[in-house]
Structure 1
Amino acid sequence: MVEASFNSISQFLSDLFASLVSLLKVSIRGRYATRLPNPQLPVCSVLGNGPSLNESLAEQFDFIRQTEIVCVNNFAHAEIFTRLRPQDYVISDPNYFVFTEQTIDRDDIRQTLSIFLEQVNWQMTLYVPHFAKGSYLLGKIERGNTQIKVVYFNYTVVRGFKWLTYWLYTKGLGMPQAQTVIIAALTLMINRKFETIYLFGADTSWHEQIRLNDQNQLLIKQIHFYDKVKDITHQPVYSDAQRQRTFSMASQFLSLHKVFRGYEVLRDYADHRGVRIVNASAKSYIDAFERKPAGQSVKGPPVQS
């Protein structure tokens, strides 16, 4: 009884402090409130880049094409990108926004930029955090392809009382911690008020690929659906710019905890907004959302080829 009372008081004080810090951050960045377009269809499909997306695309391609399609990060590297012609694309990796013409070690970003400029010949909305404004990449896209409309979202992480954080999320003044780009994409699509959001390719199975070498270096094999698996090897995950130290096992699993906790936060927020999230990934460790195969048809105007 006493222990429960102490825990309750501790939680209240923790939420109060987090709320005050969040309000302070919002007061500084509030002028960057997110302005989102209305949905084009009642249902959208958020496509993660996990290996299982190949299976989902093979089995659910027709269904996915009937929905508003949301892709993330390096999805454009896949040949199927120009067949899907996604209406929405979310990039949250900060490395994209420090990339310049002189950058020599990020051919993946250079490839994505080239595809955006040369192959996107349909209307597509690109969502990026507000701190990306003025970056080399966004400048090239905004000047080089008028088919791509850039929408800047406010990535201010807010915590605290649910009633406050939900209000800040809804107003576009803050977001949950987006440990992965999928969390950012889902938050944006919840706020656009889709009736149903289907999630594909969200394997979230990085722990299966963690290794430790004889020097206690943390290695991970990061596999995406568009990769040739035989070319992917375990690589050190460095925690410093000098590439001297890798992340510890404890920090890696703490990062994974933040990912799964983020999905739980989004589940509750989606329920609050009356939005249904269905995890239709062929393989996934996410247990926060309803698990169900994608439906057979979607109501709404026909998708243009």
Structure 2
Amino acid sequence: MVEAAFNSISQFLSDFVASLVSLAKVAIRIRHATRLPNPQVPVCSVLGNGPSLTESLATQFDFIRQTEIVCVNNFAHAEAFIQLRPQDYVILDPNYFVFNEHTTDRDDIRKTLSVFLEKVDWPMTLFVPHFAKGTYLLGKIEQGNPLITVVYFNYTVLRGFKRLIYWLYAKGFGMPQAQTVIIAALALMINRKFKTIYLFGADTSWHEQIRLNDQNQLLIKQIHFYDKPKDLTHQPVYLDAQRQRTFSMAAQFLSLHKAFRGYEVLRDYADYRGVQIINASAKSYIDAFERQATSESVTNE
């Protein structure tokens, strides 16, 4: 009884302090409130870059084409990008926003930029965090392809009392911590009030690729659906640009915890907004959302 009362008081105080901090952050960044375009159809598909997306594209391609399509980060590297002609694209990787003409070690970003400038010949909305405004990448895109409309969203992480935080999310003043770009994409699509959001390619199976070498360095093999498997190896995950130390095992699993917790927060927020999220990934460790195969066609009711 005493323990339960203590835990309840502790949780209230934690939420109270977190709410005050969130309100202070909102006050500082209130001019960055997100303004989102309306959905084009009632249903969208958020496509993660996990290996299972290959199977989903093979079996669900026609269904996905009937929905509003949302791609993320390096999806433009895939042949499917041109075939699908997605209406929406979300980039959250901070490396994109420090990239410039002098960067020599990010051919992946250079490739994405090239595709945006040379191959996107349809209207597409690019969602990026507000702190990306004025960067080299966004300048090149905004000047180089008028078919791409850039929408800046407010990536201010908010925590606290649910009703307060959900209201702030809905007003575009912030969002849950986006440990993965998929979390950011889902938060944006919830706020655009899609009736149903289908999630594909969200394997979230990085733990399967974790290794530890004889020097206690943490190694991960990053696998995406557009990669050539023979070119992939386990690589150290460094803490700093100097590459002196790798993440610890504890830090890596804490990062995974934050990702899975983010999906739980989104599930509850989606319920609050009356939006259904369905995890239709061929393989996925995400247990926060309903698992369901897609129907053969999209209804516009």
Specify the TM-score bucket, using the shorter chain as the normaliser: over 0.9
2:25 is aligned to 25
Q: Secondary structure in 1 aligned to 2:189?
A: helix
Structure 2 residue identity aligned to 1:182 = I
Partner AA of 1:168 in structure 2: L
Q: Give 1:209's aligned residue.
A: 209
Instruction: Give 2:197's aligned residue.
Output: 197
Secondary structure at the aligned position of 1:185 is classed as helix
The 1-side partners of 2:24 and 2:243 are apart by 34
SS of the residue corresponding to residue 190 of structure 2 reads: helix
TM-score by length of 1: 0.98
Please list, as runs of the form range in 1=range in 2, the aligned pairs for 1:69-84 lying within 5 A after superposition.
69-84=69-84
Deviations 1:45-78 (A, max 9, x none): 0000000000000000000000000000000000
Deviation at 1:230, TM superposition (A): 1.2
Alpha-carbon deviation of 1:241? 1.4
The 1-side partners of 2:147 and 2:123 are apart by 5
Tell me, in whole angstroms, the C-alpha distance in 2 between the residues paired with 1:232 and 1:48: 19
Structure 1 stretches of 4+ moved >6 Å: none
CA offset at residue 299 of structure 1?
Answer: 2.4
In 2, the alpha carbon distance for the partners of 1:76 and 1:300 equals: 28
**Which residues of 2 match residues 253-268 of structure 1 at below 5 A?**
253-268=253-268
> What is the root-mean-square deviation in Å for CA atoms of aligned residues?
0.8
Secondary structure of the 1:80 match is helix
Per-residue CA deviations over 1:161-193 (Å, capped at 9, x if unaligned) read 001110110000010000000000000000000
Q: Which amino acid aligns with 2:216?
A: N
The one-letter code sitting in structure 1 at the alignment partner of 2:165 is T
1:68-117 CA-to-partner distances (Å, cap 9, x unmatched) read 00000000000110010000000001110000000000000000000000
Inter-partner Cα distance in structure 2 for 1:149 and 1:78: 21
Mapping 1:67-216, distance limit 5 Å: 67-216=67-216
TM-score w.r.t. structure 2 length?
Answer: 0.99
Whole-Å separation in 2 of the counterparts to 1:244 and 1:88? 38
The 3-state SS of whatever aligns with 1:177 is: coil
- CA distance, structure 2, for counterparts of residue 276 and residue 251 of structure 1: 32
Query: Structure 1 residue 274 and structure 2 residue 274: aligned?
Result: yes
- Alpha-carbon deviations, 1:105-139, whole Å to 9, x = none? 00000000000000000000000000000000000
In the alignment, what sits opposite 2:44?
Answer: 44
Q: Aligned partner of 2:53: which letter?
A: L
- Structure 1 unaligned runs (5+)? none
Q: How many Å separate the matches in 2 of 1:177 and 1:80?
A: 29
Distance 2:8 2:219 in 1: 40
Partner of 1:34: 34
Q: Match for residue 243 of structure 1?
A: 243
SS at match of 2:197: strand
Match of 2:221 in 1: 221
In 2: Cα distance, 1:90 partner to 1:300 partner:
24
Cα distance in structure 2, aligned partners of 1:295 and 1:188:
24
CA distance in 1, matches of 2:31, 2:111: 33
